[in-house]
Amino acid sequence: MATYNVHAGHNPEGKIACGASDLLNESRENRLVKGELINYLRQYGNTVYDCTEDNGRGKMDVLEKIVKKCNAHTVDFDFSLHLNSGRNDDNGDSKQGGVEVHINADNKGKKAVAERILSRMESIGFKRHGTGIVINPNLYVLNHTNAPALLIEICYVDDRDDYNQYNKVGYKSVAKAIAEGIMNTTISNGIKDGLADQKASDGNWYYYRNNQVAADYTGLAQNVNGWWYVRNGAVDFGANTVAQNEYGWWKVTNGAVDFSYTGIAQNENGWWRIENGKVNFDFNGLAKNENGWFYLKNGAVDFSYTGLVQNDQGIWLVLNGAVDFNYTGDATCKVVNGKVQID
């Protein structure tokens, strides 16, 4: 699998240094395409970094911040998404302004990737602007990223024929075409089974089966962001529990498996000894959490146990599964503050 940087050019609409706007709004549409493109690339196992800048103080500041984000990662290619302007053809002349891809030189595989992107865009009805590939040594991003970079001008914001074609196919089809060109593969129209790698438009992550949200699924599932607790087909970001998958039982904190957690945690079946996020069913002895010290047998707190238990800090009186730090007296031996005293 490959590693990519992807960003939408310019600040968001309404801010200084935003993109061009006419029939289409560049800063709005390139962000929509960017989100879908990243989703497609990640679905196929690629690592993708979003290097979009939303708070630049001006044109140059936006460019410099984008390049800084890009160069923070070691990747195979950088992709910059734009919409072009300058056709001044709001009425339409039955000719598209078209798509073009800018590179700064014909090297490092850039031209081959550009050609594949253009071919895929043609397959969904877009025409090339000229030959489609522009060797442009003057664009800041292309000259300052560490990895080979391509700048994609999807279509013209001020061309009626481009506007009609863009709206006909939609931004998702545009993103899919670009992704197919980058990966040199054909993407099926179906949604892969399992937990999606990207949030849906409503902000939720959904678990899919046979191209539909699997509302009957509750359990742990993995995506590129980690392991998550899914309830009724959607990640439950409020879940704090201990849940099972084929690899064991795991501590879930705010919906995510917490591999950093060591302690005692609860689910509907009891309280469990967790080590590095996973239940240790071999644990026998005393362990603590925020509520106190407890006696565990086979990884579970044994609330039926009353007696003496030893750990590396001494011998302790356990009442109903918990060390009783308030007890001072006799328990077949002298006990002070829950601890057996050895004379």
pLDDT tens, position by position, 152-184: 999 999 999 999 999 999 999 999 999 999 999
**pLDDT tier for residue 202 given thresholds of 50, 70 and 90:** confident
| Cα 159 to chain centroid, rounded | 35
Domains of the chain: 3-183 (3.40.630.40)
Phi and psi at 251, nearest 5°, equal: -80, 125
CA dihedral 134, 137, 138, 139 (to 10 degrees): 70
193: pLDDT strictly greater than 80: yes
**pLDDT tier for residue 332 given thresholds of 50, 70 and 90:** low
**What's the chain's average pLDDT?**
92
Two tokens at 2?
């490959």
* pLDDT computed for residue 211 by the predictor: 73
**pLDDT tier for residue 86 given thresholds of 50, 70 and 90:** very high
* pLDDT computed for residue 330 by the predictor: 67
* pLDDT computed for residue 199 by the predictor: 76
Distance CA 131, CA 105 (A): 15
Backbone torsion region of residue 72, taken as left when φ is above 0, otherwise alpha when ψ lies between -120 and 50, otherwise beta: alpha
Query: What average pLDDT does this structure show over 221-250?
Result: 94
Query: What average pLDDT does this structure show over 191-206?
Result: 80
* pLDDT computed for residue 288 by the predictor: 87
* pLDDT computed for residue 53 by the predictor: 98
Q: Residue 36 in contact with residue 171, Cβ under 8 Å?
A: yes
340: pLDDT strictly greater than 70: no
Higher pLDDT, 291 or 273: 273
* pLDDT computed for residue 146 by the predictor: 98
* pLDDT computed for residue 9 by the predictor: 97
